[in-house]
């Protein structure tokens, strides 16, 4: 299993589409694949009255598929979402040696990337928020024309989040909750503010 259509057909996979405002949040590597990405996208979307599209893999399933296979022709829900929104924030998770304190903001709408990056820097000043494409690894820039972040009329920003801000690094080994970690809550607050203040 390595393509979008096969993932959607797999047992236990949940596809979510909630249409609200013209800004959208996406997290199609959600659930057990890129942990917490769907939670972050959903909470920011709800708090900012934005729309949401997510694909959530169940416990025990970790099937990766490339963003360029996430094709609206294969999903009526995704097609409906992309037809409804003007611009998107796509939430991904990544882990790379030397970048565990970095957040990478790719996608074709560079003005929006700077806007979202500024909001994150205000809430999480200890992180290195990279908006200069030359500082982002090439395969994490989200610039391909078939990447869903670039399909809405105003394209969008793709955010790659390290484990630390998603609450899944050794930094949080003794965190008992029940709320999300403080860094995750601050990120959601930043994304909510960015969505509310973009015009």
**Integer CA distances (angstroms), 108 to 1, 131, 136, in order:** 29, 11, 13
The whole-number pLDDT of residue 2 equals 56
pLDDT of 1 higher than 70 = no
If we measure between CA atoms, which residue out of 16, 27, 26, 12 comes closest to residue 58? 12
Element (H, E) at 196: helix 182-197
3-state class (DSSP) for residue 158: strand
Digit-coded pLDDT (tens) for 114-138: 999 999 999 999 999 999 999 999 9
pTM (two decimals): 0.95
* Helix ranges restricted to H, 28-109: 37-48, 76-84
Torsion of CA 163, 150, 64, 189, to 10 degrees: 30
**1/64: higher pLDDT:** 64
Cα–Cα dist 24/49, whole Å:
9
Strand partners of residue 57: 31
Domain 4-197 fold is Aminopeptidase (3.40.630)
């Amino acid at each position: 299993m390595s393509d979008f259509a096969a993932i959607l057909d797999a047992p236990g996979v949940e596809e979510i589409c909630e249409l609200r405002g013209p800004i959208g949040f996406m997290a199609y590597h959600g659930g057990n694949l890129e942990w917490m990405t769907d939670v972050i996208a959903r909470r920011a979307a709800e708090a900012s009255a934005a729309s949401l599209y997510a694909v959530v893999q169940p416990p025990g399933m970790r099937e990766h598929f490339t963003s360029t296979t996430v094709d609206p022709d294969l999903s009526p829900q995704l097609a409906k979402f992309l037809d409804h929104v003007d611009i998107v924030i796509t939430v991904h998770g990544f882990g790379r040696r030397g970048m565990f304190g970095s957040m990478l903001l790719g996608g074709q709408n560079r003005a929006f990337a700077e806007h979202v990056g500024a909001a994150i820097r205000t809430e999480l000043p200890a992180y290195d928020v990279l908006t200069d494409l030359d500082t982002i690894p090439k395969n994490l820039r989200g610039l391909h024309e078939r990447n869903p972040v670039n399909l809405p009329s105003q394209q969008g920003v793709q955010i790659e989040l390290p484990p630390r801000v998603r609450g899944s690094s050794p930094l949080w080994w003794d965190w008992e909750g029940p709320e999300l970690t403080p860094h995750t809550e601050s990120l959601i607050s930043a994304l909510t503010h960015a969505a509310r203040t973009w015009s």
